[in-house]
Chain A
Amino acid sequence: EAGVAQSPRYKIIEKRQSVAFWCNPISGHATLYWYQQILGQGPKLLIQFQNNGVVDDSQLPKDRFSAERLKGVDSTLKIQPAKLEDSAVYLCASSLGPRGGTNEKLFFGSGTQLSVL
């Protein structure tokens, strides 16, 4: 089965520019997550979608970050304007559902490495 697809793999921008990342989850996965992973740290959840609705965006810096998941499938994460501290790897993950049982396993994409200069 195809995994979680993310693009681009690398992105270099200057501060105050805007950038967008794209994620295509595994087919049939209802839950989609965006994580920010700063070098030397663990992934930090930015936003969680259940189908096309937002479940948790409490750690999303809403003054500059936005995300959407149209039709409950693909998702885009945007940063506008970017700051130096946004340099990180942005990971997308998906799972079958939000609850326990066999649906809690997360499948991750390879991430987008963002460098803000």
Chain B
Amino acid sequence: AQTVTQSQPEMSVQEAETVTLSCTYDTSENNYYLFWYKQPPSRQMILVIRQEAYKQQNATENRFSVNFQKAAKSFSLKISDSQLGDTAMYFCAFMNTNAGKSTFGDGTTLTVKP
């Protein structure tokens, strides 16, 4: 079974600064996907960024980028130029490519301060 661990329950950052959210996972599989989802107070989960395990290049989406360390089973999210709208809960998730089953971490609450 896969497990996903987010060791930072809460984090805060000043507007326009950079913050990194940590995620580690455990799996015996070689092919899988990793995701970061954002959940604002509206509760609707929104995909922020995804990474295919077979790709060595780290994924980037505008202000969001990841540091994927496959051997260390680490998948951190970096948010640059933080904006007030980035305030939300962020979940790291692992997806099994065979069955499409996703396992989520318990989340990190990020607060961007003006």
Cβ-based interface call for A25 (8 A): no
User: For the complex, is B44 an interface residue (Cβ under 8 Å from A)?
Assistant: yes
12 further contact pairs, Cβ within 8 A, besides A42-B93, A42-B106, A111-B43: A35-B104, A40-B107, A42-B4, A43-B91, A45-B101, A45-B103, A91-B43, A95-B100, A99-B98, A100-B33, A100-B97, A111-B44
A36 to B97, CA, bound (A): 22
B residues near A45, Cβ cutoff 8 Å: 101-103
- Complex interface bits, B40-70 against A, C-beta within 8 A gives 1, otherwise 0: 0011111100101000000000000000000
Nearest-CB distance from A101 to chain B (Å)? 9
27 examples of A-B residue contacts, CB within 8 angstroms: A35-B104, A40-B106, A41-B107, A42-B4, A42-B105, A42-B106, A43-B104, A44-B104, A48-B99, A48-B100, A48-B101, A89-B43, A98-B99, A98-B100, A99-B97, A100-B33, A100-B52, A100-B97, A104-B50, A104-B100, A106-B35, A106-B37, A106-B102, A108-B37, A108-B45, A109-B44, A110-B43
What are the residues of chain B within 8 A of A108 when measuring CB–CB? Answer: 37, 44-46
B31 at the interface (CB under 8 A from A): yes
B interface bracket (residues with beta carbon within 8 Å of A): 20 to 34
For chain A, give the interface size range: 20 to 34
**How far apart are the CA atoms of A45 and B100 in the complex, in Å?**
11
Residues of B within 8 A of A (CB): 4, 6, 31, 33, 35, 37, 42-47, 50, 52, 91, 93, 95, 97-107
Q: Which residue of A lies closest to B4 (CB)?
A: A42
Q: Does A117 contact B (CB under 8 A)?
A: no
Q: Which residues in A have their C-beta under 8 angstroms from that of B98?
A: 99
Complex CA gap A98/B106 in Å reads 23
Q: Mark A64-97, 1 if CB is under 8 A from B, else 0.
A: 0000000000000000000000000101010101
Query: Do A42 and B104 have beta carbons less than 8 Å apart?
Result: yes
